Amino acid sequence: MKETFFHYIQELQDRICERLEQVDGKAKFREDPWERPEGGGGRTRVLENGAVLEKAGVNISGVHGPLPASMQAYFGVDDVDFFACGLSLVIHPVNPMAPTVHANWRYFEMYDKEGQIVDQWFGGGQDLTPYYLFDEDARHFHQVCKKACDAHGPDLYEKYKKACDQYFWNSHRDEARGVGGLFFDHLKETAERSMEDWYNFVTQVGDSFLDAYIPILEKRKDLPYSDVNRTWQEIRRGRYVEFNLVHDKGTLFGLKTNGRIESILMSLPPAVQWKYDHHPAPGSEEERLLKILKHPKNWV
């Protein structure tokens, strides 16, 4: 399974990067292969200062070795070895009318000292973070997510949409990071579903990403905007940074397993503001966004 899924994310990385370069029309991804001393490595790709994309990172990694003591305590296991691979991406457009998007699809195995698999699971999801809320964009994104889920069970979209709203919650701000999407973790073999079933589900979600995001990006990338709009975008990006550094489990896992810091922090936007006690004008589009983020809604 690990070889099959790692091959899939390599191909998906190529597909996503090629499509993003087409949309941008100016900048190209810089590829940065790296190796982890304890075992494994990855292929980081970053595009910066494009015509459409201010920064985009599409990373894959496959790492292995002894599970660090800090993560043993987190998972509640003894001295085990692990393998983890995944694709993680974050896209920050130039235009404040175009939303940031994040996605991640991953696979994890644990082994005893004889090399036997003692646990394995899939995780991942995709979520949208607008700065100016176009309801039709949120509906489109969620509709694509729902279609991918519905092919594998009628209850999956509702379950993983709710999990996304709960996970991407900036609890110290009492607001959502964005308008959500899907989040799932610890998808393990059961009497009802094999690991192959979960593989088919996760890869269908991964294959749906471009359909979910690119139409939104193409619709918003050339809209007019002002310096006021740009300032708001950078203030909201600050909340994005806060979530990634304070709450995100993937970031924390990377930092605690001696991950490659440049790849882990590639998700951070290049231009950010923190204004003291900032509040948008009453009745403004900025205030409307905040009201939605305080109370996540059903989009489909």
User: Is the distance from CB of 189 to CB of 178 less than 8 angstroms?
Assistant: no
Residue 92 is a catalytic residue: no
117 has which bridge partners?
111
Amino acid symbol at 43: R
Pick the closest to residue 108 from 82, 126, 87 (CA basis): 82
> Angle 178-20-290 (CA atoms, 0-180°, nearest 5)?
15
**Helix boundaries (H) for the chain:** 2-24, 69-75, 135-150, 156-167, 195-220, 227-246, 249-256, 261-264, 285-294
Q: Which member of 102, 186, 247, 295 is catalytic? A: 102
Amino acid symbol at 107: Y
| Dmax (CA) of the chain | 63
DSSP 279: -
CA-CA distance, 298 to 282, in Å (whole number)? 24
Which structure tokens are listed for 269? Answer: 């936007």
User: Is the distance from CB of 21 to CB of 47 less than 8 angstroms?
Assistant: yes
Burial track 127-164 (b if 16+ CB lie within 10 A, e otherwise)? bbbbbbbbeebbebbbebbbebbeebeeebbeebbebb
Catalytically annotated residues: 102
